[in-house]
Structure 1
């Protein structure tokens, strides 16, 4: 457990921590971090996502495991949304993103590299399945729905243009088309995307650390409640649901490992993009990132 924590988990977490420390010290400004985050989101993440989806072997996935995972996401999201609206009295879009933070794990930028460090490419197939699902379906769903909720006065044409020009959504769509058509991506293009995509995780985590360093991190009731749903309820529900299917032990273990990971940064990024308050979302990302260190090391 200690070896996994120090050699596989903390090195990835260190980029977020470094950004947080440098942000608190005033060495990197929020505007600088926001610019880095924008480049990572618009350029590097699409370069990471497109070849991942284009090259993944969907036939190797356990669809029963993914279906159970998706159902647990729906159930946990509904519980968190109800708590955010009725118990914590948050506004609709903020409550939507707080609920997103309980089910959209930092899989692509955090759990994915950690799982490869620990298990290698072959053993990390279950994590790859979740990353493909979250990248192609869950993330796209929240990008579109949050945009529509935050821009209710926009007409259908404006919304379609805004959503259709999102680079991440374009990368997801192209990846699915290339995969379904069996098209081989040219090697030079793959090399270029691999080169660019390698910087997506460290730069995004670093920028997130800087931006979060300017946020209030002392947890209030909302932060405690949402973080508890993320770190306790969601993994427990995943564990219980996976007992219903005859799955290999590694699929169960890695699905629970992923569910125990920290909240994805995208809820925070979408809040910033649409001008939604982040005084609760930011601490949820921080606290789930810190508290998940021990649980991830134990489960791995």
Structure 2
């Protein structure tokens, strides 16, 4: 546990902390984090998603485990949406994104680099199936926020917005590249691997800058419910499901670590893009990341 805590968990988490410290000292500003996030959103993250899927031996993915993870994610998403909307009377768009924040792990930017450092490149295999499932969650959430969260329900506009989202295409192209390897030039893989390698550190650094602006004096009950559901209920549901879905090795361990990981940054990105209240989401990302530094050290 101590070895995993010292390396790689703390060094990777330190990138986020550095962004936070530099922002608090005035060396970095929110506008600069926004520019970094655009780079991550439009290039680095889609390239990483493509690279993870295209280079994975998809035939070796345990799809039963992926389905179990997806089911747990949808359950947690639905619970927090209902709590936020009907228990705390949050606006519809915010409730949708709070649900996504509860179910959507920071797997690509946080759990993946930790897992590959600890267990080697084979740890990336279970990620590819989960990334495909999360692409469905991501696109569905963007569509729902566009449709219901902006005050003007317009399906055509929502679909047009979705068509401009690079995350719609990255997993599809990754699957196509894996199934048709002879048609994909090696330079494409070099490009996506090179660009994708920047996704995790730049995203964590930008997230640290953004979180520095979030007031932490009042965390709020809704935030704690969200964090508790993400870090406790989701991995518990997955562990219970594994009593039925038999798996072993990294196929069992890695999805469990993802389920126990912190809230992902993408709900915050969507919130800022659509002018949805994001304070609770930002606080949940920060607190869940801080707590998961300890929990992942124990689990690994």
**Both proteins in one fold, TM over 0.5:** yes
- Tell me the residue number matched to 2:8: 8
Go from structure 1 to structure 2 and tell me whether the alpha carbon gap of 1:110 and 1:33 turns closer, same or farther (over 3 Å shift): same
Q: Please state if 1:40 is matched with 2:26.
A: no
The alpha-carbon deviation at position 249 of structure 1 amounts to: 4.4
The alpha-carbon deviation at position 125 of structure 1 amounts to: 2.8
Unaligned runs of 5+ residues in structure 1 are: none
- Tell me the residue number matched to 1:288: 288
- Tell me the residue number matched to 1:64: 64
- Tell me the residue number matched to 1:29: 29
- Tell me the residue number matched to 2:79: 79
121-130 or 210-219, which moves further after superposition? Answer: 121-130
Please give the alpha-carbon distance, in whole angstroms, between the structure 1 residues aligned to 2:11 and 2:253.
22
Go from structure 1 to structure 2 and tell me whether the alpha carbon gap of 1:217 and 1:44 turns closer, same or farther (over 3 Å shift): same
168-177 or 3-12, which moves further after superposition? Answer: 168-177
- Tell me the residue number matched to 1:153: 152
Please give the alpha-carbon distance, in whole angstroms, between the structure 1 residues aligned to 2:80 and 2:243.
23
The TM-score normalised by the length of structure 1 is: 0.93
The alpha-carbon deviation at position 191 of structure 1 amounts to: 1.2
CA contact (8 A) 1:112 1:131 kept: no
The alpha-carbon deviation at position 159 of structure 1 amounts to: 2.6
Go from structure 1 to structure 2 and tell me whether the alpha carbon gap of 1:57 and 1:141 turns closer, same or farther (over 3 Å shift): farther
Please give the alpha-carbon distance, in whole angstroms, between the structure 2 residues aligned to 1:120 and 1:20.
29
SS at match of 2:5: helix
The alpha-carbon deviation at position 258 of structure 1 amounts to: 1.2
Deviations 1:239-263 (A, max 9, x none): 1111112211443332221111100
**Pairwise mapping of residues 138-149 of structure 1 onto structure 2 (< 5 A)?**
138-149=137-148
- Tell me the residue number matched to 1:162: 161
- Tell me the residue number matched to 1:273: 273
The alpha-carbon deviation at position 298 of structure 1 amounts to: 0.5
Please give the alpha-carbon distance, in whole angstroms, between the structure 1 residues aligned to 2:179 and 2:144.
25
- Tell me the residue number matched to 1:131: 131
Go from structure 1 to structure 2 and tell me whether the alpha carbon gap of 1:188 and 1:114 turns closer, same or farther (over 3 Å shift): same
The alpha-carbon deviation at position 266 of structure 1 amounts to: 0.4
The alpha-carbon deviation at position 4 of structure 1 amounts to: 0.3
CA RMSD of aligned residues (A): 1.8
Please give the alpha-carbon distance, in whole angstroms, between the structure 2 residues aligned to 1:67 and 1:173.
18
Go from structure 1 to structure 2 and tell me whether the alpha carbon gap of 1:239 and 1:261 turns closer, same or farther (over 3 Å shift): same
11-20 or 286-295, which moves further after superposition? Answer: 11-20
Please give the alpha-carbon distance, in whole angstroms, between the structure 2 residues aligned to 1:151 and 1:278.
14
Go from structure 1 to structure 2 and tell me whether the alpha carbon gap of 1:295 and 1:95 turns closer, same or farther (over 3 Å shift): same
The TM-score normalised by the length of structure 2 is: 0.93
- Tell me the residue number matched to 2:235: 235
Deviations 1:67-99 (A, max 9, x none): 111111121112111111122221111111111
The alpha-carbon deviation at position 182 of structure 1 amounts to: 4.6
Deviations 1:105-126 (A, max 9, x none): 0011111111000001124533
Please give the alpha-carbon distance, in whole angstroms, between the structure 2 residues aligned to 1:95 and 1:41.
22
Unaligned runs of 5+ residues in structure 2 are: none
Please give the alpha-carbon distance, in whole angstroms, between the structure 2 residues aligned to 1:152 and 1:55.
41
- Tell me the residue number matched to 1:200: 199
SS at match of 1:146: helix
106-115 or 70-79, which moves further after superposition? Answer: 70-79
271-280 or 117-126, which moves further after superposition? Answer: 117-126
